[in-house]
Chains A and B, each alone.
Chain A
């Protein structure tokens, strides 16, 4: 009996409602969109519904919302100081969105929205746009002093400024690729190792080895839960650090 598996199939977009085409672009309400709205629903459940009673002594769900709030508020405050408070909704939304989507991806047979580069890139582009637009609005051309390290001899600037610009431009790329690649690679690895279990079980005498990939799959699953939470935290922290550049462009 032949068993085949496609570790990539899990990332395919499945249109639930097709809405037509614009040129090459296919417009559809996909399962990816459904998961995104489901994530918004879950986040609203934790942060809006669970806090509706405004209890002084919180219940479990309200505690969860408060823990997330204080965690992100602390992270943001450490990175940006007092001026960063206005970005709290952005950083909190990004953290919760990425966290819940990553965790949705860990449900068996569920779709990992953050395994699509365009989604993570969209979020990273949003962050960088906010940094640039807010930085220019607040500091004008002074914002571009970000690319000029202070206290450096003039000849060195000719080398350093392009490096700084490249480093700034690569931020949305690194921010999005980091999240996307972690989720994608983790899901592929889990699928392949889980498939090894099946293959070994069907390979006659070799089936005695099947517990090995099984244990590895279990370990990988635990690791992926860690990665799911950690990458959401990394995304939020880096967002806060980049926003700090918009708030305090001086080097």
Chain B
């Protein structure tokens, strides 16, 4: 591939334009196109094998396992954190539900207690009222009984007074006291 280079090879009769040192420089490499200079191939391949071998060893044994471990650890960490957050959320939800249940229970209990108290008080009042009523009724009936006995006693007195008065009247009119049996008959007849 030793081709003349148009930019360095002097055109015929134009030697004066070329810096002399430069011509020597190009000539030192015999004008060959450096990438195709076969004399360096073996050396380049050896250095390539050494450099790339070293790189491959570093990547295979150190770098890639480490990066993989880092990425894996991060993924694990993220997953664990998300799981934890999820667990905490579930816990919080459960706590919220428990709170609401407790609140509802407490309200129900309060209502029950109020109702029971109300019922008890009502029952007590009713008992007292009934007792009072019974007492009053007893008093009333005893008073009525007293009135009746008094009335009967008074009525009994009325008969004897009427008998005495009738006997006195008859005695005054006839001068003679009526027979008690006749008097009693007469009293019974007028009593009705």
Interface residues, chain A, CB within 8 Å of chain B? Answer: 2, 4-9, 11-13, 19, 22, 24-30, 32-33, 36-37, 39-40, 43-44, 47-48, 51, 54-56, 58, 62, 65-66, 69-70, 88-90, 92-93, 96-97, 115-119, 122-123, 126, 180, 184, 192, 195
Asked if residues B55 and A40 are in contact (CB atoms below 8 Å), the reply is: yes
Q: Are B35 and A180 in contact, CB atoms less than 8 angstroms apart?
A: yes
Residues on the B chain within 8 Å of A2, using CB: 16-19
Query: A115 — which chain B residues lie within 8 A by C-beta?
Result: 35
Q: Which of B23-39 contact A (CB under 8 A)?
A: 25-26, 29, 33-39
The answer to whether A88 and B43 touch (CB under 8 A), given A4-B19, A33-B51, is: no
Contact B69 A26 (CB under 8 A): no
Given contacts A28-B43, A122-B45, whether A40 and B63 have CB atoms under 8 Å apart is no
For residue B64, give the distance in angstroms from its CB to the closest CB of chain A: 6
- Given known A-B contacts A28-B43, A93-B59, A116-B35, A37 and B70 have beta carbons under 8 A apart: no
Given A25-B42, A97-B52; A7-B69 close (CB under 8 Å): no
Q: A6-B7, A40-B58, A47-B59 are in contact. Are A30 and B35 (CB under 8 A)?
A: no
With A36-B52, A47-B67, A54-B66 known, 5 other A-B pairs at CB within 8 A are A25-B39, A25-B43, A33-B51, A47-B59, A116-B34
CB distance from A235 to the nearest CB of B (A): 13
Residues of A within 8 A of B73 (CB): 54, 56
Q: Is the Cβ of B5 less than 8 Å from the Cβ of A6?
A: yes
B contact residues around A55 at 8 Å (CB): 70
Q: Once bound together, how far apart are the Cα atoms of A7 and B42, in whole Å?
A: 25
Bound CA span A90–B55, Å:
10
Are B44 and A116 closer than 8 Å at their CB atoms?
Answer: yes
Q: How far is the CA of A55 from the CA of B67 in the complex (A)?
A: 10
